[in-house]
Amino acid sequence: MTIRLHDTRAQELRDFVPLDPSNVTMYVCGPTVQSGPHIGHVRAALSFDLLRRWLQRRYGRVTFVRNVTDIDDKVLANATDAEPWWGLAYRMEQEFSAAYAAVGIQPPTYEPRATASIPQMQELIERLIERRHAYPAADGSGDVYFDVRSWAAYGDLTHQSVDAMEAQEPVPEPVEGPRGKRNPQDFALWKGAKPGEPADATWASPWGAGRPGWHIECSAMARRYLGAEFDIHGGGLDLRFPHHENELAQSTAAGDAFARYWVHNGLVTVDGQKMSKSLGNFTLAADVLAQHDPLVVRYALAAAHYRSSLDLSDSSWSEAEAALGRIRTFLERAARQPEAFAWSAPRQEAAEAPSIDPIPAAFAAAMDDDLGVPQALAVLHETVRAGNTALAGERPGDAQLIAVQVRAMTGVLGIDPFSPEWQASGSDAKTTTALDALVQAMIAQRAQARADKDWPAADRIRDAIGAAGITLEDTPDGTHWSIDG
């Protein structure tokens, strides 16, 4: 068993060797909660949910930390007289949590807010000043900056030199007037209070009232919850520079080993351009979830490799729905076999399944190879086809063993249609019940027509049902229906 992950810092695949095989540690940059989540945020969180699930499968325990940036320039800018910054941040945090939960993303082990770790941030800043890697602004503004030229390793993550950065725009931290920054690349660790900012958005510090810079937040929270060294730091590709570059520099300059592996997910794009709020080309997660089954959304977002760009279209959702339909139909057919195992009931515990290795070797190999979900899905669908062949060949025992494998694979990916989290509820349950009543009535009419040897009528009823995208399966114990996948 060897998991290989693409490490951004090494720029290559590396064998994953955790510090403690009994407890893998991960820190993933969470949202800045100035507004609600778009579908790119959900794709990013899902990428690390899949990695976490596979690491849990391989190692058992994963301590997973995902932060919330609840104090930031953008949060302050979006606040209003009717809704203060902290109220906005809390409301948006709830929207992110709801979107994540809707697509089955597991909640983190710890989810710290930046405003709850201010003392730890100040302690880290003081260490950097003592080591001469940071300096308070000479103009008395209360700002504190990291001196990038004091740290020779600055640029290691993205393999850039400071001199090369000088020739590029934008620089890591915008220069907003003569507030005492020595070099354009130096970035803010602490931001002195500015006129017009809310008084409750500042904290006392040795350098004057103010608030933390964005980058120092994650360094301090990662250290607080995972220690000075941990296994994996994750985030979107767009966070490599300046955010993660600055995190790495300030943490290592302060004496911490910090993250051993840097893993970045690809972005959701629109016409080849990154989806982002600043560009105005985003699709809100709430809108997508209102239009599509959350399980379909999860499948569509997971189907591409986590490091690739994902350009979503209408076909993305229809293809995901069809793929899930094939999986669901096979499992339903297998569960109806006379020798069906107890596991086939949607809410049965996995412990009742036969004592076999449920994960095919090819699936495990794909997941071990830098989380190869597309290849793993190919194995899953090959297995479903083998199961359908077993059913067609009247080999129910083989079909049952295959169904166990299918449920194990879909369970790892979080797309098991029989899992309780995906069971219909509320209005969806009422819709399903109503549809079942209508189809069952038509099945009864067809059965009566066949009993009366009125074959044209029986064919018309079957054709009408098929035109609605519903498949009938005649078995010795009756006729069953499913949505055509």
pLDDT of residue 348: 44
pLDDT of residue 474: 77
pTM for the whole structure: 0.84
pLDDT of residue 370: 98
Domain boundaries, the chain: 4-291, 316-422, 428-483
pLDDT of residue 139: 85
Q: Which residues of the chain have pLDDT under 70?
A: 166-179, 270-281, 338-357, 424-437, 475-477, 483-485
- The hierarchical CATH code for the domain 316-422 is 1.20.120.640
Token output for 57: 């499968």
Question: SS3 for the chain, per residue?
Answer: CCCEEEECCCCEEEECCCCCCCCEEEEECCCECCCCCEHHHHHHHHHHHHHHHHHHHHHCCEEEEECEECCCHHHHHHCCCCCCHHHHHHHHHHHHHHHHHHCCCCCCCECCEHHHCHHHHHHHHHHHHHCCCEEECCCCCCCEEECHHHCCCCCCCCCCCHHHHHCCCCCCCCCCCCCCCCCCCCEEEEEECCCCCCHHHCECCCCCCEEECHHHHHHHHHHHHHCCEEEEEEEEHHHHHHHHHHHHHHHHHCCCCEEEEEEEECCEEECCEECCCCCCCCCEHHHHHHHCCHHHHHHHHHCCCCCCCEECCHHHHHHHHHHHHHHHHHHHHHHCCCCCCHHHCCCCCHHHCCCCCCCCHHHHHHHHECCCHHHHHHHHHHHHHHHHHHHHCCCHHHHHHHHHHHHHHHHHHCCCCCCHHHCCCCHHHHHHHHHHHHHHHHHHHHHHHHHCCCHHHHHHHHHHHHHCCEEEEEECCEEEEEECC
Structure confidence by residue, pLDDT tens digits, 371-410: 999 999 999 999 999 999 999 998 888 999 999 999 999 9
pLDDT of residue 163: 85
pLDDT of residue 427: 42
pLDDT of residue 178: 43
User: What superfamily does domain 4-291 belong to in CATH?
Assistant: HUPs (3.40.50.620)
pLDDT of residue 415: 98
pLDDT of residue 169: 40
